[in-house]
Amino acid sequence: GEDVEQSLFLSVREGDSSVINCTYTDSSSTYLYWYKQEPGAGLQLLTYIFSNMDMKQDQRLTVLLNKKDKHLSLRIADTQTGDSAIYFCAESSPTSGTYKYIFGTGTRLKVLA
Amino acid sequence: AAGVIQSPRHLIKEKRETATLKCYPIPRHDTVYWYQQGPGQDPQFLISFYEKMQSDKGSIPDRFSAQQFSDYHSELNMSSLELGDSALYFCASRAQGGHEQYFGPGTRLTVT
């Protein structure tokens, strides 16, 4: 997505933590999401954060939001081989009237056994 | 729990043919979105419907049209297909009052 940027690749060892980063430009974004896409599959909602929060934890997932810098990150603790996939951040805003998503470019996470 | 259903899952068409993709949202979801994901790319918003009316339009070619029916299912009609239309087409639905979208498994369209 032209307004939402992510690094393209990340490689980690099994058991390590993974941190996937995302920068966005729309300061009116109200909700920010992380989706997981496995090869040839659909988009699975992992978690989301409201723009008035700076952190959200959900089991192995921790989302950090720096609204000033428009920077979002997803930390996966104890990364497993099953976490290998493409991770997309997405933003939406009610100013669009429809909460349509603008997706990031996607980060391909490879977990090495 | 019921999920978004898309059909067909795979579709192969030749250039200049037409294709129709169908989407059945989660029950009681009244908003439907269509996205196109080209090979190695992020999903791009095409069009959305709320209560059977078009609510937003993105980068959808004029050759494509879509509608939402009284039972809230939606169809994406694609005519004069081009090789560049080969992609994964996702439908997503959202509940009234909610913000998150739930995605279907996608329809993989291959144009030869």
Chain B residues within 8 A of A105 when measuring between CB atoms:
42
| B23, B105 contact by CB (below 8 A) | no
Cβ contact, residue pair B58, A100, below 8 Å: yes
Q: For position A98, what pLDDT does the model report?
A: 80
User: How many angstroms away from the CA of B103 is the closest CA of chain A?
Assistant: 6
Minimal CA–CA distance to A26: which of A49, A2, A10, A46?
A: A2
More confident residue, B96 or B34: B34
User: What mean pLDDT do residues B65-89 have?
Assistant: 97
Residue B25 touches partner A, C-beta closer than 8 Å: no
The 10 Å Cβ neighbour count of residue A82 is 9
Q: Tell whether omega for the bond before B61 is within 30 degrees of 0, i.e. cis.
A: no
| pLDDT at A106 exceeding the cut of 90 | yes
DSSP β-bridge partners for residue A103: A90
Q: For position B108, what pLDDT does the model report?
A: 96
pLDDT band at B2 (very low <50, low <70, confident <90, very high): confident
| A54, A68 contact by CB (below 8 A) | no
| B27, B2 contact by CB (below 8 A) | yes
| A68, A3 contact by CB (below 8 A) | no
Instruction: Tell me the two tokens of residue B53.
Output: 């009316």
Kindly report the CA angle at B66 between A31 and B85, in degrees rounded to 5? 85
pLDDT band at A1 (very low <50, low <70, confident <90, very high): very low
Cβ contact, residue pair A30, B31, below 8 Å: no
Say what percent of chain B tops pLDDT 70: 99
Residues B17-39 pLDDT 10s: 999 999 999 999 999 999 999 99
Q: For position A25, what pLDDT does the model report?
A: 82
Order of strands across the sheet that contains A18-24:
A4-6, A18-24, A71-76, A61-66, A55-58
Give the chain B residue whose CA is nearest to the CA of A106. Answer: B42
| pLDDT at B110 exceeding the cut of 60 | yes
Q: For position B35, what pLDDT does the model report?
A: 97
Q: For position A96, what pLDDT does the model report?
A: 66
Cβ contact, residue pair B45, A88, below 8 Å: no
Residues 6+ apart with CB under 8 A from B23: B4, B5, B6, B32, B34, B73, B74, B75, B76, B91, B93, B104
Rg for chain B, CA atoms, rounded: 13
| pLDDT at A30 exceeding the cut of 90 | no
Residue B43 touches partner A, C-beta closer than 8 Å: yes
Q: Which of A26-35, A81-90, B18-27 has the lowest mean pLDDT?
A: A26-35
* B7-22: b (≥16 Cβ within 10 Å) or e: eeeebebeeeeebebb
| pLDDT at A95 exceeding the cut of 80 | no
User: What mean pLDDT do residues B91-110 have?
Assistant: 93
pLDDT band at A52 (very low <50, low <70, confident <90, very high): confident
Q: Which of A11-20, A51-60, A95-104 has the lowest mean pLDDT?
A: A95-104
Q: For position A44, what pLDDT does the model report?
A: 93
